[in-house]
A and B are shown apart, each in its own frame.
Chain A
Amino acid sequence: MYAIILSTMGKNYHIKLNPDPLSRERIESHMDFDALLRQYQEADKQQVKRPRVIKLAYVALAAAAALALLMIFNIWNGASSPQSESAYFAKLPFVNPPLSEWEPEFISYKMNVNQGGVYEYESGSRLVVPAAAFMNDRGQLVEGDVAIHYRELHDFVDFFLSGIPMNYDSAGRQFYLESIGMVEIYAEQNGERLQMAPGKEIQVELVTHIRTTLDAPLPHYSIYTLDTMNRNWAYREEARLEVLEEKLDAGQSAYSDIQKEWLESRQALEKSYDAQLAALEAMAPKPIAPVKPQRQMSGQPTIELNFQDENFDFEGDNDEEIALTRKLKDAIWQISPQSPPYDENAFKVTWERMRLKPINEWDYTLTLINDNRQLQLIVNPVLVGEAYEQAMSQYEANLAEYESQMDYRESQLKARRETLLQQEADETRFLDEAFTERLAEAGAPQGKPALLAKVISRFKAHQLGVWNCDRPLPVGEEKLNLKFVDENGETFTPRTAYFAGKTHNTVHRFLATEKTALALPSDDAHLIWLVTDDNRIALVRQSNTEHKGRKTQTVVMKVAAEPLRNEEDIRAVLRF
């Protein structure tokens, strides 16, 4: 999709039809609050002082009187002035590790930026980083070695220690993000933070676990990125999860053996039918779908490439090059809107060599080379005029042929496939009935086995930072008024506190004051804790806290006797 700009100069207005849309990133590149603040302070100094002083003095007197009245009122009521939670957190860094010594560590990989790389993490997760993927602050592609720093966060203790907020504001509505795992990636060269080059994406394959039951559909999760500028999360896409393996959830009862056998029998059955279905599909290979030709985008610059030139290199396999040469003999190459920025003077320079490398069916990396420099662009093959019309006619004919072949193939396979699927369903039902009976005879509660599924979440990260696979949980409407004290009855000075529920993998941070209005999950055992001035954890374990209307309930938090020495100590304290 792209905008066609039509412009009409009227006598009163300059009417622009379909203006170019601006991306959020583009707009954010103009943001600079520090510069604005300096400008404000400069302008403020230059203002005439005298009338302002008089006005300020008057305002100050009024404010002092109001403050005195407020203090008298507070002393009368025995309460301190409530502090706004949003104002409190606005003053703090958005990502604020509470115990920086035990912040989850990054693992670092060294990568030659000209080659890209594939990196595997201990959890089984994988990063696929393309070549020429990074640029510096000035928008220039960087070359040579870069360091890629990566970490994964999986449970509420990780989230707490990272200081990454899990609160999500969606158009004014508050949620917690219940996460099944998140990754944080950043890149550096010589100590300078880098950004992703336009059009480049890191393929992330995050391996994590979710709790489910046999045959239950996977819950829906989404991918969000942490937007540190707007101090919020930004929705990106639906998460695509694939189950890698399922095993019985740990901590099962005395009936675990039967449940384990049930699961293994089901897995064996599924494997056997998957193999039969694959063999059936292989009997009639699928025809190859034709690729739709693309027309040149309005206003995008184009260049011509001569595949016959001896200084032209194609970095794919030979068959691919031959196919490309045939298919695209009439194509011209359009510089993609996703291409890194370039200087137009580059086209006045004589380039000695060219290299073309496919990224996918539509995008190619074109590298122009001479003795002094290299220029890298992302280009797309496009057609114009009659060549496009001819290619479209050919494409439509090929598509009709392809669809007819697919219909024929389907008519050959459909009946046999349905028979196999029906057999599988019948055998599965018999198996389930047999195991349900065995569990009933053993006196076990009914229901299918609870499972721990190892899943992979695949997504493409077009920017560096924190990427979270999660789902939003609404914050409850009903709030408790809580007062947090230590075992001696001393209240804590206002500070950041946290709570986590047993069944939802998230952590919520809030401002604990003498009177804290807090919505706790009602169906959960939960932990509430804070970090004391001497880096100890004060904690309370609660379940189904009773609502007492507007009355303030006092919550006694136990301060850990031993100082924290490592992450294990923290995990030992924060257990349900």
Chain B
Amino acid sequence: MFSILLTSSRILANTIGMDAQKKTVSAERMQEEWLEIQAAQGDPAMFRPLYVRYYEMVFRFIYRRTASEELSADICSQVFLKAMQRLSDYSFKGVPFSAWLFRIASNEVAQHFRQQQKNRVLSIEETQIGDMADEIDEEDNEALRAALLLALDDLKEGDMELIEMRFFEQRSFKEIADITGMTESNAKVKTYRILERLKKRLST
């Protein structure tokens, strides 16, 4: 219990540092972007600046989940096509436009792997798995990393998304909340619970 509390406080400390450095979208910028979105709602050709701005970001998001350049390009096209088709229903709720695109991308990736009946890809840098091992145990070693990979493989898709965005994509809880549609505190609590479960699993 004590160890989990320490882990939690360390994650909170990281979160504060990370938010300060991360690209945050200012309210002014979001308002300005909302004007662009409104223009695109009236004329689809005006979607171009939004497409250019977010293409790479969305592509990378998909690529991490497919590890295939061609497949990522296909899914990315689908994501932007769906975004254009649903744009008339989009309304500004104080959440960055990118979060809406990531949500579509996440659904498209999940749909693809469901249809193909294949396991989706989880991309991890070795250093990140080390960082995560640090978060849940003081002694990082090869055996722990291997066990952690096995434990991660048992996570449900929803739980995996949280862990993935938090630890392997270094997103803030605010950003995770925007993408998943849950509240920021809910995202935090859920993440801690998943970490707790992983830790229990590793100790058995």
Contacts and interface: CB of A to CB of B under 8 A. Distances in A.
B26 A19 contact: no
Given A13-B119, A41-B44, A172-B29, A231 B126 contact: no
A22 B76 CA distance: 15
B52 A16 contact: no
B131 to A, nearest CB: 14
A86 B77 contact: no
Contacts of A229: 52
Interface string B70-108: 001100110011001100000000000000000000000
Given A12-B154, A30-B73, A231 B52 contact: yes
A134 B150 CA distance: 48
Contacts of A18: 124-126
A24 B56 CA distance: 7
Interface stretch (A31-39, A136-144, A307-315, A493-501): A31-39
Interface stretch (B8-16, B61-69, B180-188, B194-202): B61-69
Interface in B34-62: 35-36, 39, 44-49, 51-53, 55-56, 59-60
B123 interface: yes
A14 interface: yes
From A9, A19, A28, A41, residue with most partner B Cβ within 10 Å: A19
Contacts of B69: 22, 26, 30
Given A87-B39, A172-B23, A16 B85 contact: no
Given A12-B119, A37-B45, A84-B35, A230 B53 contact: yes
Given A84-B36, A172-B23, A16 B48 contact: no
From B25, B36, B56, B126, residue with most partner A Cβ within 10 Å: B56
B81 A19 contact: no
B52 A31 contact: yes
A324 B29 CA distance: 57
A90 interface: yes
A477 to B, nearest CB: 11
From B49, B53, B118, residue with most partner A Cβ within 10 Å: B49
Interface string A14-57: 11111110101011101101001101110110000000000000
Contacts of A12: 119, 153-155
Contacts of A37: 44-45, 47
B67 A86 contact: no
A171 interface: yes
A17 B49 CA distance: 34
B59 A36 contact: no
B52 A15 contact: no
A17 B67 contact: no
> Shortest 5 CB-CB distances between A and B: which pairs?
A10-B153, A30-B73, A84-B35, A19-B123, A13-B122
Interface of A: 8-20, 22, 24, 26-28, 30-31, 33, 36-37, 39-41, 43-44, 84, 86-87, 90-91, 171-172, 229-231
Interface of B: 23-26, 29, 32, 35-36, 39, 44-49, 51-53, 55-56, 59-60, 63-64, 67, 69, 72-73, 76-77, 80-81, 84-85, 118-126, 129, 149-150, 152-155, 160
